[in-house]
Structure 1
Amino acid sequence: MEPTAIFLLALLWDFLLGEPPAKLHPVVWFGSIAGFLDRRWKRRGPVLDFLAGAFTTLIVVAFALVLSTVPFYLPFPLNYALAVYLLKSSFAVRSLYKHVARTVTEDIEEKRKAVSMIVSRDTSTLDGAHLNSAAIESLAENLNDSVVAPLFYFLLFGLPGALVYRAVNTLDAMLGYRNERYEFFGKFPARVDDVLNFIPARLTVLLYLPLGGRKVFGHYLLARFKLNSDKPISAMSAVLDVWLEKPGLYRFPGRTPKNEDIKRALKVYLIVVGEWVAIVLILLMLEVVPCLSP
């Protein structure tokens, strides 16, 4: 199968149609498998919980790998149709934009509700500035998780790379919490996600350089709070010149973020996505991508 055609058709699907129905979405399937195993594992201590979490990760990754190879055994045009569908399911440009755009409102309660849909933190006590910050942070972090990273692994390993990344990232979002239930059960998927995001997170920062220049680099040097997730956030803070803060964890300097800054962030998002899509397309056309057959 021709990877350039698959990529362009998947991108067209995303722009025109957005996300597939939830019941037919591979990410939902990954989550369902993980949730099933999570609910049935009664916590038994650090070592056994860690091994159970690792087993859960391997099961979901194996399912993602098998799913990614199915198109290669189908006749034309079913092979292309399924490959496009699966690749589209690994990234989300349009839906991320729409979710963040909903947070642009002067109604504080409406804003709290919209922001709560895209972040894990409690938004009920956040003021307007911190709600604006949370929305922009989510946009910056998910630009890496939902766009740059899955297409990075598509470039390296084809469809299996994109789906395996999405599976691991889904498990990290579900299980990677530092609390009593997931401290050890979620540690393995969280660490694998850290490894997989190490290069893409820094690649995402590089994509901001044409917009922010040396200031992006300066903010990057301040991003010492998390291994990966704060790196794209630091770059967005630099370009917008606003402070972005998760109280008690990190804060990047700048002026107070306003509603208008979320709109500006969305414009920056589209520019960076455009840069990355152009790079991916060029590399595909130059046939730098490995063979997509299993």
Structure 2
Amino acid sequence: MDALMVFGLALLWDLAFGEPPAKLHPVVWFGRIAGLMDSHYKRRSPVRDFLVGTATALVVLAFALSLSILPFLAPYPLNYAPSVYFIKSSFAIRSLHEHIARTVTDDIGEKRKAVSMIVSRDVKNLDVYHLNSASVESLAENLNDSVVAPLFYFLLFGLPGALVYRAVNTLDAMLGYRNERYEYFGKFSARLDDVLNFVPARLTVLLYLPLGGRKVFRYYRLARFKINSDKPIAAMSAVLGVRLGKPGVYRFPGRTPEDGDIKRALKVYWLVVAEWLIIVSLLLATGVCPCLSQ
């Protein structure tokens, strides 16, 4: 198959229609499998919790890998349709913009509701500044998780790489918490997500350089709180010149972010996305990266 054509069709789908219906979305399937195993397992001991949590992750990853193989089993040209569908399902450009755009409102109740849909932290007591900060932080972090990283692994390993990465990212989002329930059960998922995001998170920072120059590197050196997630946030903070931070976790200097800064962040988002899409397209066109089998 023509990898560039398949990717181009998947990209057109994303920009025109956004996400597939939830019932038919592979990411939703990954979450349901993980959620089912999570809900039926009663925590017992650190070792046992870790082993069962690891087994849960491996089941989801095996399912993701099996989905990625299906297009290779279909005859030409029928294999194009599932290839486009699964590649599209691995990244989310339009829907991320839409989620963040909903947080631009003067109604703090509506803002809290919109922000609660994109972050895991409790937003009930957050003021406008912290809500705006959370929105921009989510945009920066998910630019890596939902755009750069899945396409990075698509370039390296084709469709299996993209879907397996998305499965790992979903597992981390569901199970990768440092609390009594998930400290050991979700440890394997969280650490695997750290490993897979190490290079993409730093690649995302590099994509901000044409927009922020040396300031991006200065802020990057301040990002010492998380292994990966604070790196793209630091870069976005540098470009916008706004203060971003999660209370008690990390903080990057700047002025207080306002609704207008969320709109500016979305413009930065599209510029970085455009850079990355051009790079991906060029690499596919030149055949430098192994993607889809011929």
Query: TM-score scaled to structure 2, two decimals?
Result: 0.99
Q: Deviations over 1:75-112 (max 9, x none)?
A: 23321010000000000000000000000011111111
Instruction: Provide the rounded CA distance (Å) in 2 between the counterparts of 1:245 and 1:31.
Output: 28
Instruction: Provide the rounded CA distance (Å) in 1 between the counterparts of 2:90 and 2:291.
Output: 19
Say which SS state the counterpart of residue 221 (structure 1) adopts.
Answer: helix
Instruction: Provide the rounded CA distance (Å) in 2 between the counterparts of 1:258 and 1:292.
Output: 44
Flag the 1:79–1:246 CA change in 2: closer, same or farther, 3 A. same
**Residue pair 2:108, 2:128 contacting (<8 A) in 1 also:** yes
Q: Which residue of 1 aligns with 2:4?
A: 4
Query: 1:137 offset after TM fit, Å?
Result: 0.1
Say which SS state the counterpart of residue 63 (structure 2) adopts.
Answer: helix
Q: Which residue of 1 aligns with 2:87?
A: 87
Instruction: Provide the rounded CA distance (Å) in 1 between the counterparts of 2:137 and 2:276.
Output: 19
Q: Which residue of 2 aligns with 1:14?
A: 14
Instruction: Provide the rounded CA distance (Å) in 2 between the counterparts of 1:263 and 1:158.
Output: 33
Q: Which residue of 2 aligns with 1:169?
A: 169
Alignment map for 1:75-154 (pairs within 5 Å): 75-154=75-154
Structure 1 letter corresponding to 2:126? L
Structure 1 letter corresponding to 2:70? V
Whether 1:258 aligns to 2:258 is: yes
Instruction: Provide the rounded CA distance (Å) in 2 between the counterparts of 1:40 and 1:247.
Output: 33
Say which SS state the counterpart of residue 121 (structure 1) adopts.
Answer: coil
Sequence identity, in percent? Answer: 75
Instruction: Provide the rounded CA distance (Å) in 2 between the counterparts of 1:215 and 1:291.
Output: 35
Say which SS state the counterpart of residue 251 (structure 1) adopts.
Answer: strand
Alignment map for 1:1-294 (pairs within 5 Å): 1-290=1-290, 292-293=292-293
Say which SS state the counterpart of residue 245 (structure 2) adopts.
Answer: strand
Q: What CA RMSD, in Å, does the superposition of the two structures yield over aligned residues?
A: 0.9
Gaps of 5+ in 1: none
Instruction: Provide the rounded CA distance (Å) in 2 between the counterparts of 1:4 and 1:18.
Output: 20
Structure 2 letter corresponding to 1:52? V
Query: 1:280 offset after TM fit, Å?
Result: 0.2
**Residue pair 2:154, 2:291 contacting (<8 A) in 1 also:** no
Question: Paired residues, what number?
Answer: 294
Instruction: Provide the rounded CA distance (Å) in 2 between the counterparts of 1:139 and 1:105.
Output: 16
Structure 2 letter corresponding to 1:16? A
Structure 1 letter corresponding to 2:221? L
Query: 1:293 offset after TM fit, Å?
Result: 3.2
Say which SS state the counterpart of residue 78 (structure 1) adopts.
Answer: coil
Instruction: Provide the rounded CA distance (Å) in 1 between the counterparts of 2:205 and 2:140.
Output: 10
Structure 2 letter corresponding to 1:201? A
Instruction: Provide the rounded CA distance (Å) in 1 between the counterparts of 2:78 and 2:64.
Output: 19
Say which SS state the counterpart of residue 75 (structure 1) adopts.
Answer: coil
Instruction: Provide the rounded CA distance (Å) in 1 between the counterparts of 2:194 and 2:2.
Output: 31
Query: 1:73 offset after TM fit, Å?
Result: 1.1
**Residue pair 2:10, 2:85 contacting (<8 A) in 1 also:** yes
Say which SS state the counterpart of residue 79 (structure 2) adopts.
Answer: helix
Instruction: Provide the rounded CA distance (Å) in 2 between the counterparts of 1:32 and 1:176.
Output: 16
**Residue pair 2:155, 2:291 contacting (<8 A) in 1 also:** no
Query: 1:291 offset after TM fit, Å?
Result: 5.0
Say which SS state the counterpart of residue 23 (structure 1) adopts.
Answer: helix
Gaps of 5+ in 2: none
Instruction: Provide the rounded CA distance (Å) in 2 between the counterparts of 1:291 and 1:259.
Output: 40
**Residue pair 2:152, 2:200 contacting (<8 A) in 1 also:** yes
Instruction: Provide the rounded CA distance (Å) in 2 between the counterparts of 1:153 and 1:272.
Output: 18
